[in-house]
């Protein structure tokens, strides 16, 4: 039996899961692993440390290695390693969402030039089978909407804030202690991770490349415990939602931001580190994928699945997995966030003056904004009123214009609401 040889760059949580899982396959062998620190203790039983190296080019330049598995993340030096490996005749399996979002066009063009494939099932939603179903069994559909929760760290934080009534700062500290959040959580809590994922996901769904620079991003750092409480009272939960919409004119609205979602919808009940993706298309209708978005074995499952698919292809053809290759020829025209239409939750601290609610209503009316809900809860010790508004669907630019005219009020929060 021919053994297909694997070289892997990275042996962290995901890499360790990949190594353990591949021990069950007789026709696949990891022959070399590049790591930063050879002396670091690994959670692998009977691990042969002789296959480790600190030089990734021992893998890249080895002609006997068929597939490079990259699980280190980031653009640099991952791009250099992957691009040179492709030029040296290797197929690629990666979990690198940032690289895909920032260098996807260059990556897939290079791969096609050298007749290699790049598979990345683990890059979007960890252990959820998503990319291959979209590119194969759902290939006959016209997908117009993508929506989901794509970051487990932020979903955990928001879930704990909701259940415990705790502040963002307190829950973030707890998440870091439990290992759900990094020491520097910026990539997760500011929405970058979800932005990278929805960029690639929308590219696949719409059949057009999505330019990362035009994707709107807003994280969860401004969400308050008070917003969680008010959302619950109004029948909502707050989630960090990644959205991609393709309108009838072919324009793409792609963004990531907190959103009030109705308690009656499944999305509101996706909690802790779970991920979910919802797709709308013709003729399939509406379908959802839900499961673990991270973790050693869920993510390793996706990586190993990609490896097995490449190996299966190599056994039968010199031009493998044609449906999994990138065939995008153009960039989608993007809709700016200011041109989008949404409902809005607005929390306002206003001076307790006669007519203040009337003034808020008048400003909104002048900007073509209809109000669905307006609530005032008593007075604070400083004689200010806590006012909560839910609007009807209106234009983002109009909301921002109205807010700018409420100069005597303090705008505590503005969060978009599921329409």
Active site residue 197: yes
Q: For residue 36, what are the CA distances in angstroms to 47, 250, 286, 393? A: 17, 45, 44, 51
Q: Residue 237 — very low, low, confident or very high, per pLDDT cuts 50/70/90?
A: very high
Average pLDDT estimate for 188-209 = 97
- Check: CB of residue 389 under 8 Å from CB of residue 348: yes
Q: Which of 171, 176, 159, 293 is nearest to 239 (CA)?
A: 159
- DSSP for residue 383: S
Active-site pick, 160, 197, 239, 367: 197
Check pLDDT > 90 for residue 356.
no
What is the pLDDT, as a whole number, of residue 1? 75
Write down the mean pLDDT value for the chain. 95
Q: What is the three-class DSSP state of 208?
A: coil
Beta strand 67-70 with 4-9 is: parallel
Burial letters 261-279, b for 16+ CB under 10 A, else e: beeeeebbebbebbbbbbb
Name which of 195, 269, 236, 221 is nearest 345 in CA terms.
Answer: 236
- 210 pLDDT band, cuts 50/70/90, is very high
- What is the tens place of the pLDDT at every residue in 84-142? 999 999 999 999 999 999 999 999 999 999 999 999 999 999 999 999 999 999 999 99
* pLDDT in the model for residue 389: 96
Does the structure show a pLDDT above 80 at 335? yes
Residue 368 has pLDDT above 80, yes or no: yes
| Cβ burial, residue 178 (10 Å; 0-12/13-18/19+) | exposed
> Looking at residues 172-193, what average pLDDT do you find?
93
The DSSP letter of residue 37 is -
Domain architecture of the chain: domains with CATH:
4-127+296-324 (3.40.50.720), 137-290 (3.30.360.10), 340-417 (3.30.70.260)
- Dist CA 129 CA 290 (whole Å): 9
Contact present, 14 and 303 (Cβ < 8 Å): yes
Please tell me the number of Cα atoms within 13 Å of 338 on its side-chain side.
Answer: 4
403-412: pLDDT as tens digits: 999 988 999 9
Token digits of residue 90? 């290797």
pLDDT on residue 380? 79
Instruction: Determine the average pLDDT of the residues in 245-256.
Output: 96
pLDDT digits (tens, 9 = 90+) for 291-334: 998 889 999 999 999 999 999 999 999 999 999 999 888 999 99
Residue identified by tokens 């991952």 is 78
> Using CA atoms, how far apart are residues 88 and 99, in angstroms rounded to an integer?
19
Calculate what percentage of the chain has a pLDDT beyond 90. 91
% the chain with pLDDT above 70: 100
Q: How many CB atoms lie within 10 A of CB 165?
A: 12
> Is 400's pLDDT higher than 90?
yes
- Both tokens of 219, joined, read 């994280």
| pLDDT in the model for residue 194 | 98
In this prediction, residues 282-290 reach a mean pLDDT of 97
User: CA-to-CA distance for 143 and 139, rounded, in angstroms?
Assistant: 9
pLDDT on residue 395: 98
Residue 353 has pLDDT above 90, yes or no: no
* Residue 76: other Cβ atoms inside 10 A: 8
For residue 379, what pLDDT band results from cuts at 50, 70 and 90? confident
Q: Where are the alpha helices (DSSP H) in 65-222?
A: 78-87, 97-113, 122-125, 131-135, 152-164, 168-178, 186-189, 192-206
β partners of residue 242: 148, 256
Confidence of residue 44 (pLDDT cuts 50, 70, 90): very high
């Amino acid at each position: 039996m021919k053994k297909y040889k694997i070289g892997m760059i990275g042996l962290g949580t995901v890499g360790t899961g990949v190594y353990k899982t591949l021990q069950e396959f007789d026709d696949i062998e990891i022959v070399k692993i590049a790591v930063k620190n050879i002396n670091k203790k690994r959670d692998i039983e009977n691990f042969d440390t002789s296959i480790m190296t600190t030089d990734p080019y021992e893998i890249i330049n080895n002609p006997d290695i068929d597939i490079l598995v990259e699980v280190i993340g980031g653009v640099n030096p991952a791009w250099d390693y992957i691009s040179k490996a492709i030029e040296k005749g290797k197929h690629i399996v990666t979990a690198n969402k940032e690289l895909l979002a920032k260098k996807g066009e260059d990556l897939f063009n290079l791969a096609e030039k050298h007749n290699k494939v790049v598979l990345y099932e683990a890059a979007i939603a960890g252990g959820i089978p998503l990319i291959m179903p979209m590119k194969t069994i759902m290939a006959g559909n016209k997908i117009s909407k993508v929506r989901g929760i794509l970051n487990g760290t932020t979903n955990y934080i928001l879930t704990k804030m909701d259940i415990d009534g705790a502040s963002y700062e307190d829950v973030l500290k707890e998440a870091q202690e439990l290992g759900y959040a990094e020491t520097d959580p910026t990539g997760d809590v500011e929405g970058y991770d979800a932005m990278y994922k929805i960029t690639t996901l929308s590219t696949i769904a719409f059949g057009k490349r999505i330019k990362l620079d035009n994707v709107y991003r807003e994280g969860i750092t401004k969400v308050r415990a008070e917003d969680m409480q008010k959302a619950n009272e109004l029948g909502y939960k707050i989630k960090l939602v990644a959205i991609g919409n393709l309108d009838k004119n072919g324009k793409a609205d792609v963004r990531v931001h907190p959103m009030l979602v109705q308690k009656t919808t499944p999305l509101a009940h996706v909690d802790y580190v779970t991920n979910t993706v919802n797709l709308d298309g013709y003729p399939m209708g509406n379908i959802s994928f839900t499961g673990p978005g991270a973790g050693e074995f869920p993510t390793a499952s996706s990586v190993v699945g990609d490896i097995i698919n490449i190996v299966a292809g190599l056994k039968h053809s010199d031009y493998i997995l044609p449906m999994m290759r990138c065939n995008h020829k153009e960039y989608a025209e993007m809709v700016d966030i200011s041109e989008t239409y949404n409902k809005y939750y607005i929390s306002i601290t206003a001076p307790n003056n006669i007519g203040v609610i009337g003034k808020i209503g008048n400003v909104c009316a002048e900007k073509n904004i209809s109000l669905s809900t307006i609530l005032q809860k008593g007075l604070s010790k400083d004689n200010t009123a806590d006012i909560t508004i839910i609007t009807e669907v209106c234009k983002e630019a109009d909301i921002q214009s109205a807010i700018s005219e409420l100069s005597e009020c303090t705008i505590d929060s503005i969060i978009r609401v599921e329409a």
